[in-house]
């Protein structure tokens, strides 16, 4: 999808950011709302859906397998589902673009249907490991012909009936957990997943909301999730809350740009997602939560953020799963903090849309930050609030969160920072530059 002409952007130091802005819908919840609606019997309605390329790839795939999905002029999406077990053979390959979530979750869904499907993706997605889902889904009976290293493009032959498994996650991954649970929907008996380290629980919440029989138990071995298969899902009306992973960028920008005072509204604060805001507060960030409420079964608040002097911190690796996508922008915050920030236990960052440890280390060095790369994290010595030197060009490596992180860095750099390609931002946050401009950034 993003192998075409790059879209560079140069970002210069900014005056204060002010005003109020809502962030777009949560990407994880948007994917799941389309998938589960497509498996319900009847018509579901979704508002607040993230209309980014990743979610649109999921919508296209569900359409290709028989669901009728339409967007109304009012931004409400309607989905006529085919029922669990009712997915149809797609006529062509499922094009996943840049989206690991679409790929891994849909591999789960297809595994327990009588479907043979080919999954393809862009240059970034084609480098990412799929073995982590191929392994458990093979145990359930699905068959795979993958590219070397267990990568895309791959062909998957699903099976009916699939075999229920009892599986302990070897990596803390909500995508792997969700792939198995989604495969379990059309599998007889009980599919059991144990997660020693808790990861985002949107699948569990939403499966329950759609009427699946699912239990979650905290045990000494971790969270045990049991799903009763051959489920019948009831159509739902879903409101997707705003994405904390997107809110992260304007929140960090407002903390760093002197004199800023912004309100970011409708931010999802599911405890399996929101650790960044706690870490930023522990660094001295002035963030308050107002108007706490529930939206679509998820906790939500408006975040009021004032520019702050941050202090470096030793980030507890235990919080990593609850802010796994937020480390790139945390590294930018650390580069402006007083003193040293140490992060560890972040091996998973190496298999995201890019190797986010190396990509961030190289990019931050290119704009004059002091960074040491370790095997599983970064050690960053901040400027103590002074502007970064800037002046460099950074490579986004087809990674939306890298591109956005360096836009934030450019807002607090002496000389402009050039991002080589902003196109990937359209996967998760198509309104990113518009939102920042609305808060006063001149991009």
Name the residues that contact ligand S3P, by CB under 6 A. 28, 101, 173-175, 178, 200, 324-325, 348
Count of beta carbons in the 10 Å neighbourhood of residue 282: 14
Measured from the CB of residue 392, what is the shortest distance to ligand S3P in angstroms? 27
Strands 393-394 vs 417-419: parallel, antiparallel or unpaired: parallel
Cite the beta strand spans of 296-416 per DSSP E: 298-306, 340-342, 370-374, 377-381, 388-390, 393-394, 413-415
Catalytic residue flag (residue 325) = yes
Tell me how far, at minimum, the Cβ of 161 lies from ligand S3P, in Å.
26
Q: Does 325 count as an annotated binding residue?
A: yes
Nearest to 156 by CA among 128, 103, 112, 116: 116
401 is in an annotated binding site: yes
Nearer to ligand S3P, 130 or 165 (CB): 130
C-beta contacts of 147-151 below 8 A and 24+ residues apart: 151/126, 151/127
The annotation status of 71 as a binding-site residue, yes or no, is: no
Q: Which is nearer to ligand S3P, 304 or 403 (CB)?
A: 403
Answer yes or no: is 370 a known binding residue.
Answer: no
| Residue 254 beta carbon to ligand S3P: minimum distance, rounded to whole angstroms | 23
DSSP letter at 428 equals T
Q: Is 27 annotated as a binding residue?
A: yes
HSE value, Cβ hemisphere, 13 Å, CA-based, for 215: 8
415 is in an annotated binding site: no
Q: How far apart are alpha carbons 88 and 68 in whole angstroms?
A: 12
Per annotation, catalytic residue among 54, 122, 201, 325: 325
Give the Cα-Cα-Cα angle 243, 247, 252 (nearest 5 degrees): 155
Return the bridge partners of 372, or none: 379
Euclidean distance between CA atoms 171 and 231, whole angstroms: 27
Q: How far is the CB of 85 from ligand S3P (least distance, A)?
A: 23
We find the least distance from the C-beta atom of residue 359 to ligand S3P, in angstroms, to be 15
- Pairing assessment for the beta strands 166-168 and 190-195 based on DSSP bridges: parallel
Q: Which is nearer to ligand S3P, 101 or 343 (CB)?
A: 101
Query: Least separation, in Å, of the C-beta of 348 and ligand S3P?
Result: 6
ω before 32 within 30° of 0 (cis)? no
- C-alpha 116/C-alpha 155 separation (Å) is 7
397 is in an annotated binding site: no
Quote the least distance from Cβ 325 to ligand S3P, whole Å. 5
104: annotated binding-site residue?
no
Nearest to 6 by CA among 407, 417, 398: 398
Say if residue 128 carries a ligand binding annotation.
yes
Strand pairing of 340-342 and 166-168? unpaired
DSSP 234: P
CB neighbours of residue 220 within 10 Å: 5
Nearest to 47, CA basis, from 80, 21, 72: 72
Contacts 24+ apart (CB under 8 A), 104-107: 104/130, 104/132, 104/133, 104/175, 104/176, 104/178, 104/179, 105/31, 105/32, 105/35, 105/58, 105/175, 105/178, 105/179, 105/182, 106/35, 106/58, 106/61, 107/133, 107/134, 107/137, 107/156, 107/179
Binding positions for 3-phosphoshikimate: 27-28, 32, 173, 175, 325, 352
Q: Which residues are catalytic?
A: 325
Binding positions for phosphoenolpyruvate: 27, 100, 128, 175, 356, 401
Binding positions: 27-28, 32, 100, 128, 173, 175, 325, 352, 356, 401
């Amino acid at each position: 999808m993003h192998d075409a002409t790059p879209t560079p952007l140069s970002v210069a130091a900014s005056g204060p950011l002010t005003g109020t802005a809502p962030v777009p819908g949560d990407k994880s919840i948007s994917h799941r709302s389309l998938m589960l609606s497509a498996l319900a019997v009847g018509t579901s309605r979704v508002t607040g859906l993230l209309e980014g390329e990743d979610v649109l790839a999921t919508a296209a795939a569900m359409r290709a397998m028989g669901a009728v999905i339409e967007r109304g002029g009012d931004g409400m999406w309607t989905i006529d589902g085919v029922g669990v077990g009712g997915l149809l053979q797609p006529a062509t390959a499922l094009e996943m673009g840049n989206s690991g979530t679409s790929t891994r979750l849909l591999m789960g869904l297809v595994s327990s249907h009588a479907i043979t499907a080919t999954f393809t993706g862009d240059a970034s997605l084609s480098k990412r490991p799929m073995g982590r889902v191929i392994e458990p889904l093979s145990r359930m009976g699905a068959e795979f012909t993958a590219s070397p290293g267990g990568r895309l493009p791959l062909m998957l032959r699903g099976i009916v009936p699939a075999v229920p498994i009892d599986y302990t996650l070897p990596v803390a991954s909500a995508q792997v957990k969700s792939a198995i649970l989604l495969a379990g929907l059309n599998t007889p008996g009980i599919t059991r997943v144990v997660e020693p380290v808790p990861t985002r629980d949107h699948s569990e919440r939403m499966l329950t909301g759609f009427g699946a029989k699912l239990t979650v138990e905290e045990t000494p071995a971790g969270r045990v999730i049991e799903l009763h298969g051959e489920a019948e899902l009831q159509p739902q009306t879903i409101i997707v809350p705003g994405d904390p992973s997107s809110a992260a960028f304007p929140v960090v920008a407002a903390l760093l740009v002197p004199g800023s005072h912004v309100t970011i509204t409708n931010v999802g604060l599911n405890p399996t997602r929101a650790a960044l805001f706690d870490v930023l507060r522990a660094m001295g960030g002035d963030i308050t939560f107002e108007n706490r409420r529930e939206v679509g079964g998820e906790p939500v608040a408006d975040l009021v953020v004032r520019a702050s002097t941050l202090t470096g911190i030793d980030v507890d690796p235990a919080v990593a799963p609850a802010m796994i996508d937020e480390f790139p922008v945390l590294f930018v915050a650390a580069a402006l903090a007083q003193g040293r920030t140490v992060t560890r236990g972040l091996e998973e960052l190496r298999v995201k849309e890019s190797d986010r440890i190396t990509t961030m280390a190289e990019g931050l060095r290119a704009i004059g930050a002091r960074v040491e790369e370790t095997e599983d994290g970064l050690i960053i010595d901040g400027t103590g609030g002074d502007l970064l030197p800037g002046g460099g060009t950074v490579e986004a490596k087809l990674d939306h969160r890298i591109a956005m992180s360096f836009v934030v860095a450019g807002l607090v750099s002496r000389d402009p920072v050039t991002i080589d390609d902003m196109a990937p931002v359209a996967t998760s946050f198509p309104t990113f530059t518009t939102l920042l401009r609305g808060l006063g950034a001149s991009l």
